[in-house]
Amino acid sequence: MTEPVVHLVDVVAVMGGFPVLAGADLTVQRGEIVLLRGPNGAGKTSLLRLCAGLLPIERGEATVLGCDLAVDRTAVRPRVGLLGHANGLYADLSVADNVAFWGATVGATAAEIDASLTRMGLATRLAGVRVSRLSAGQRRRTALACLVVRRAELWLLDEPHAGLDAAGRDELDATLREAASSGATIMVASHELERAGALATRMVEVVGGQTRPVGGA
Amino acid sequence: MSTWRIARLVAAKDLRIELRSRVVTNQVLPFAALVMVMFAFALDNDTVLTRVAPGLVWLATLFSMLVLVQRAFAVESADGALDALQVAGVRPGGIFLGKSIAMAAQLAVLEVVLLLAAVVLYKVQLAGSGAVLLVTTFVAATTGLAFVGTLYGGLAAGARGRETLLPLLMLPVVAPVLIGATRATEAALGTNGASPSEGWPWIGLLALFAVLFGVGGTLAFGSLIDD
């Protein structure tokens, strides 16, 4: 059996003196789409930030893409794509400039940048528009195009459907399925259980900073 | 991707943002000019103004630089871009150098405008004999200020109350640049009978400052902006 992409054992993480993860266990295999569900403040975002190497671990074992986060949590970052509550966009740059910038950080070609814009329906009318003039849904779509162009191995998405219209949601789901089928691993934290649940190959409940499988999986 | 390539990418991105938003042109330059005019109103004496002009130019530069630094990091933190750069594994040293280059370019424009304002408002005369010293002073001081601004801007970026914290943290640190640049500029302009040869030792101080903060910032920036 191949090495799991994410392997957490009894992980404890603290933020501002407050425990945000309290003994989380999780194993995710390559190509899975795992839905993290749970109430607000349960630890879903913290779990994603920990996997992205942004949150230090206090105790336990955490290995992501073969990198031991207790030893060096920066090594995993170039191989991970995180879309959190913020979009990570520059408001004064155009949609195309933003995608080109994020693509350039990983050496993406012009064709790859164009493909990402096309994939998210941004290649024509919106490409030259400043991000500050976009709707919330269009910004979200731009952020996803930036994620696509980075070719991350592990996608960590926090409420990715928020602000998207029906067409944008369908495009996102199609993009995620395509990414998973081509070997990417995806973790999605969402309250939209119907849509995200239909997309996911597995669900995990996060409550009080701890994880438990849903449906006996 | 190498640190230098990242630096070029970040610098180009920051300068493109400035070209599109025109914050320096529409806000920082008028603010700097206003500070120079207010100094003239406060001192209201041509002889005194000419004598203290080098110090006033550099003081106005520091005040205006605070606005530049705030702006440079506001664009990174407004929508979580600094976080995204970290997650993307973009080398922090490259981010530091890139933002420093962009800030140095904007500071250079600001300083030229302030020097011209001093010529017009304070009747400062530019002497040909001090031209090399003057240019060297501006290059060395601008480099040091850009490195300090980027370092402390990054440090304050994630802090609560960063707008008020930044001047408190940064102004004491740039005091050596204010002193060195003022003395060297006085020597270059021949203020108070100073000769250009008196200015060169101050260039050593400015260069040392720039090297220390350039190397220190490149190495420490990652830890500073990390959670």
> Domain of B159?
3-225
Give a yes or no: residue A75 inside a domain: yes
Q: What is the pLDDT of residues A70-80, one digit of tens each?
A: 998 888 988 89
Whether A208 is in a domain gets the answer: yes
Q: How many domains does chain A have?
A: 1
In the predicted model, is pLDDT for residue A212 greater than 90? no
Q: Is residue A26 part of a domain?
A: yes
Run of H or E residues at A23: strand A18-28
Q: Which residue has the tokens 């369908």?
A: A170
**Is residue A34 very low, low, confident or very high in pLDDT (cuts 50, 70, 90)?**
very high
Contacts of B44 (CB under 8 A, 6+ apart): none
Judged by CB atoms closer than 8 Å, whether chains meet at A92 and B21 is answered as: yes
Average pLDDT for A49-57: 92
If contacts are CB pairs under 8 Å, which of residues 46-65 in chain B contact chain A?
none
- B159 to chain A, any CB pair closer than 8 A? The answer is no
Residues in chain A: 217
pLDDT cut 70: percent of chain A above it: 98
Long-range (24+ apart) CB contacts under 8 A made by A73-79 are A74/B89, A74/B222, A76/A51, A76/A52, A77/A52, A77/A53, A77/B86, A77/B87, A77/B88, A77/B89, A78/A106, A78/B88, A78/B89, A79/A152, A79/A153, A79/A154, A79/B89
How would you class A110 by CB atoms within 10 Å of its CB: exposed for 0-12, middle for 13-18, buried for 19 or more? exposed
ipTM value, please give it: 0.86
Q: Which two tokens stand for residue A156?
A: 């960590």
Domain containing residue A189: CATH number: 3.40.50.300
Cβ separation of A56 and B78 shorter than 8 Å?
Answer: no
Please give the pLDDT value at position B130. 87
DSSP annotation string for A98-122: HHHHHHHTTT--HHHHHHHHHHTT-
What pTM value is reported for the model?
0.87
Contact call for residues A48 and A36 (beta carbons, < 8 A): yes
Average pLDDT in chain B: 91
Per-residue model confidence (pLDDT) at position B99: 96
Please answer yes or no on whether B81 and A107 come within 8 Å at the CB atom: no
Q: Do residue A56 and residue B227 have CB atoms under 8 angstroms apart?
A: yes
Higher-confidence residue: A132 or A214?
A132
State the smallest CA–CA distance between residue A21 and chain B in angstroms.
16
First and final C-alpha spacing in chain A: 18
pLDDT band at B188 (very low <50, low <70, confident <90, very high): very high
Give how many domains chain B has, as a whole number.
1
Structural domain for A189, as ranges: 6-89+151-213
B190: left (phi over 0), alpha (psi -120 to 50) or beta: left
Dihedral sign for Cα atoms in the order A5, A6, A9, A11: positive
Helix and strand element counts for chain B (H, E): 10, 0
pLDDT of A29 > 60? The answer is yes
Contacts for B139 with CB less than 8 Å, ≥ 6 apart: none
